[in-house]
Chain A
Amino acid sequence: MREETKFLIRRAVFLAVALGITLAFMFPLVWVILASLKTRLEIFVLPPKWIFLPTLQNYRDILSSDFMYQLRNSLLVAAISTGVSLVFGSLTAYGFSRYPVRGSDNILFWILSLRMLPPIAVVIPFYLLFRSLGLLDTTLALVLVYCIFNISFSIWVLKGFFDEIPVELEEAAKLDGYSPAQVFFRVSLPLVRPGLATTAIFCLIQSLNEFLVALTLTTRKAVTAPVGLAKLQTFLGTDWGRISAAAVIFMIPVVVFTIFVRNELIRGMSFGRMR
C-alpha cells in the first residue's frame, strides 16, 4: 500500500512538472498576443502588467499598412503553389503507388531528398537565373521554387494515402469497363480526399512560413508576410505592439490550419512514414 502511494505521488509530480513545462511553452504565444493589445508604454513596463485596458490601435495600424498586401502575397503564392503541387503530386504519387518499376524506390528517394534541400543551395542559382530572366520580385518566381518543395512533399504523403486504398476497389472499376485514367479520377482520387486536404494544408503552412527564398527573390512587389515581418522589425525597431499585432494576424491562418490537421500531424511532419 505504501509503495502504491509512493508510486502515485511520483507520477503526480512527474505529470505536474511536465504539464508545467507545456504551459511554459505556451507562454511566448500568450505574451505576444498580450503585447499586441498593449500601448507602446505598457509593453515596456516592468514588472509586466497582466491586467490592462486592451487597445486595438496596433491592429488598426497594421491593417492599414503594407503588411496586409504582403500577407495577401503570401496567401496567393501559397495557394497557387499548393494547387499546382497537388495536381502534379497526386498524379505521380498514384504512379509510384500503382505502377512501381525497377528503380522507382531510388527515384522516390531522390524526390524526397529535394524536400530536404537546403534553401540556400536553391536560392543562389535561382537568384541569378531569375535576375537574367527578369523574374525577380514576382509571384511566379516564388511559386516555381515553392513547387519544388511542395511537389516532393505531396508525392510522399499522398503515396501513403494511395497505398491504403484497397486494390479491389480499383479492380472492380476496371472490370466495369473504366480505363485506368477513369479509375484514377472516379475512384482513387475521391477516396483520398482526406489525404488531399491534409497534404494541401501542410503545403500551405510550409509555403506561408518560408523565409529565405522569399527574402532573396523579392524586393518590393512580391514581398511575403515573413519577409514583411522582418522588415517591420528593422524599420519599427522597438514598436513591439505593432510587430506583435502583425505576427498575430499572420499566425491566425496557420493556427486554424493546424487545428484542421491535428490528427494528421505525424503524417505531415514525418512524410507519411511514421504512423
Chain B
Amino acid sequence: MIIDTHAHITGPSELYEYFRGFTNVSGPAARALHHFAISDDYLESSIEGHLKEIDEVGTDLQLIVARPWAIPTAERRRPLVTAITEQLNDMISQCVRLHPDRFIGLGSLPQSPSLSPKDALEEMDRCVNELGFVGFKINPDPGEGGWEAPGMGNDYWYPIYEKLVELDVPALIHGGPFRFSREPELGYFCQEESVAGWSLMATPEVWRDFPRLKLIIGHGGGYIPYQYGRARAFRINGRRSDDTLWEPFEESLRRLYYDTVLFDQDALELMLKICGVDRCLFGSDRPANGSIVDPRTGRALNDVKSLIEAIPWLDDQDRRAIFEGNARLLYPRLNSGASR
C-alpha cells in the first residue's frame, strides 16, 4: 500500500472567496461569519481532479490537510482565524467522509501572532476525537517571516507538544503564508521548516520533556540534510563541558522525521542516506506546483514514488517502510480504524 503523508486539499474556491469577504473588512461585517455549507456533490466535483491525479501515480491513501495559504495567519482577529480554521478542518473531514478509502484527515491549527498555542488545544481535541483525524500540521512561523513566533525549541510551543503526546498523534511542520518574508515561495517553506528543525535540534530540553513527541519536517527536511556536515561541525564546536544534555548532531537529526517531498532522485538519495530509511516517510505534495510534467522524464515532478523506486540501493523492505510501514508506526491512529 502506498500512503502519501504530505498532501493538501483545496476544495471549492467559493469557500476562500467567502473567507476573504471577512478577512478583508473590519467592523460589524467581520462578526457575521457563519458556517459555509458545501454540498457533498459540490465538494465531490471540486476534488475530482485531485483524485484523478493521485490515481495516476498509484497512491492508495493520502493524509490530507488544508492548503498552507488557507489559514489567515496575518489576521489579528482571533475569532476569525479560529472560525476559518475550524471550517477548513470541517471541509477536510467532509472529504474523508466522502472517500474513506482514499483520504485520512490531518488537522490545521488556529495560528496567528494574536493566538497562543493554548488557543489551539480545543480544536486539536475536536479534530482527533470528533473528526477522527490522525495528526496535525504546525506552522512554525505564524509571523509570516516577521519575528513574532519564538523558535520551535522554545517552551512557547509546549502546550501543543503536550497535546500531541497526550493524543499520540504526530505533526507535520509546514510553512504557511509568507507576507513579510525575504524568501520567495520557492524557498520559503524549505527555509522555515529548516529554521524549525535547527531550533528543535538545538534544544535537547524538548526531547527530555517530551520523549514521545513525533515531528516531521516537510519538503525533504528543507535543507537540513544538505547542510548536515556544517551542522555536525557547529554542534561539536558549541559543546560546553557543563552541558549534560549535549549529543552529537547525528543523534538530534534522528529525533525528527522527514518526508520525501523532493522532486529529484539525487536529493532523495542524499536525504535517505543522511537521515536513514527508518526516519523518512513517503510524501508527494500532489497535486500542487510539482504536478507539472518534467519534459526530461515525461512524468510529473511530484511523481515521487517513481523516483524512490529508481533508487538502486533500496531493497523491497526499505521501500515498504518508506511507502507504508514508517507511516503506520508514526501514526498509530491510522491503524485503529477510528478514522475510517
Tell whether A and B belong to one assembly: no
Q: Footprint of A on B, CB under 8 Å? A: none
Q: Footprint of B on A, CB under 8 Å? A: none
